[in-house]
Amino acid sequence: MNKILLLVLLAGGAAAGAAGVLVATGQLQVPAFPEVTSGSPQDNVPEPGKPSAAAAADEAYIAFDQGKYLTALSLAENRAARGDPQAHTLVARIYEGGLGVGKDEITAYRWYARAAELGDVPAMLAVGNMLAEGRGVEKDRAAAAQMYEKAAATGDALANYNLGILFLKGDGKPENPHRAAKHIQYAAEKGIAQAQYDLAALYQQGVGLPNDALEAARWMSRAAAQGLTAAEYEYAVMLLRGFGLKEDEPKTIKFLTSAANKGVPGAQNRLAHVYLEGVGVEKSMAEAAKWRILASAGGIEDGKLDLLLESLSENERQAAQKAAQEWQDKRFSIR
């Protein structure tokens, strides 16, 4: 291995997630207002966060999108009285978010539960989340698992992912890595970035699936390409180690920089070494110092880079500190 790359790897800060230990983050939340249409289960997976054409055309949803929450609530309640499942879900979302009304998770849960009874899949997922977290209802992971299973049977990708996590953890379902892997893989194939990340971890650790470095790299690459921060960092590390896909090697610095800019201290520290050694970038002591200051603030220890900072002149140190502060200010202003 190239000595410079080895230096970056050894001194760049510890990796987390698939490259080190298996990380499965738990429940993914219900998207905004998807609708399950007719057709095969594969065709029924809604695009997260995007309302269906039918929902978008509905007056209640239009009012909601315009921020007219009380109007949306009134219209949705009228439709719910006629047995519309999605109208129940919309009412629930308004109460859950406290949009135009006082936040009331108990009321939200009741509306979600009724929508789930009427067959609305996003409501099933929401009920599962609230049961899993104990919001608006007594915490009951087993009941949450049952609701996820009901939604997963329709082909819902998020429900499959959440069900897989419960099987993986033995939480609400008996621990079963093989069942977990099947559900997580289904969600990954449907484009859920967190599922792709966790599937890469399963392949890398050989949990529920054969140990397969190539498959781990493929799925980590897909999650990174979607901008999942943890995946960007992990995949950049995999590429630096030579464990990623050959065609993705030119993207190494891109992924590492993206993760660093999203505030991952380990990525910031590795990027400092990259600029110090000129690995895929033009050498820059100023950039190295800036990223080291940020990584240090994030709790990453690195004696070699600290010696670099000590070797800088007072003006250079001040310039690096100013650059780091400007980065912080910009990041928080975007939030």
Looking up residue 65, the CATH number of its domain turns out to be 1.25.40.10
Task: Let me know whether 46 and 77 are in one domain.
Answer: yes
Q: Report yes or no on 218 lying in a domain.
A: no
Token pair of 117 as six digits: 């009874």
Amino acid (1-letter code) at residue 218: R
| CA–CA dist 136, 151 (Å, integer) | 20
Burial of 178 (0-12, 13-18, 19+ CB in 10 A): exposed
Task: Let me know whether 70 and 9 are in one domain.
Answer: no
- Given a cut of 70, whether residue 30 has pLDDT beyond it is no
pLDDT tier for residue 308 given thresholds of 50, 70 and 90: confident
Task: Let me know whether 182 and 61 are in one domain.
Answer: yes
Its domain, for residue 239, covers 1-23+227-335
Q: Report yes or no on 196 lying in a domain.
A: no
pLDDT digits (tens, 9 = 90+) for 215-250: 999 999 999 999 999 999 999 999 999 999 999 999
Given 191, 217, 247, which residue is the final one in a domain?
191
| CA–CA dist 75, 80 (Å, integer) | 9
Question: Using an 8 Å Cβ cutoff, are 130 and 137 in contact?
Answer: yes
Q: Report yes or no on 212 lying in a domain.
A: no
Q: Report yes or no on 234 lying in a domain.
A: yes
Mean pLDDT of 262-267: 95
Task: Let me know whether 235 and 301 are in one domain.
Answer: yes
Residue 31: the pLDDT is: 53
H-helix segments, 118-176: 121-133, 141-152, 157-169
Task: Let me know whether 182 and 232 are in one domain.
Answer: no
Residue 1: the pLDDT is: 38
Task: Let me know whether 7 and 73 are in one domain.
Answer: no
Given 171, 191, 211, which residue is the final one in a domain?
191
Question: Using an 8 Å Cβ cutoff, are 86 and 116 in contact?
Answer: no
Task: Let me know whether 75 and 13 are in one domain.
Answer: no
Task: Let me know whether 17 and 119 are in one domain.
Answer: no
Give the global pTM: 0.81
- Given a cut of 60, whether residue 59 has pLDDT beyond it is yes
Task: Let me know whether 122 and 40 are in one domain.
Answer: yes
pLDDT tier for residue 29 given thresholds of 50, 70 and 90: low
Task: Let me know whether 150 and 250 are in one domain.
Answer: no
Please work out, in degrees rounded to the nearest 5, the angle formed at the alpha carbon of residue 249 by the alpha carbons of 244 and 250: 155
Given 167, 191, 215, which residue is the final one in a domain?
191
Mean pLDDT of 278-301: 93
pLDDT digits (tens, 9 = 90+) for 123-171: 999 999 999 999 999 999 999 999 999 999 999 999 999 999 999 999 9
Task: Pick from 12-16, 85-89, 307-311, 329-333 the range whose average pLDDT is largest.
Answer: 85-89
| CA–CA dist 274, 251 (Å, integer) | 14
With CA atoms as reference, report the closest residue to 64 among 76, 47, 53.
76
- Given a cut of 60, whether residue 12 has pLDDT beyond it is no
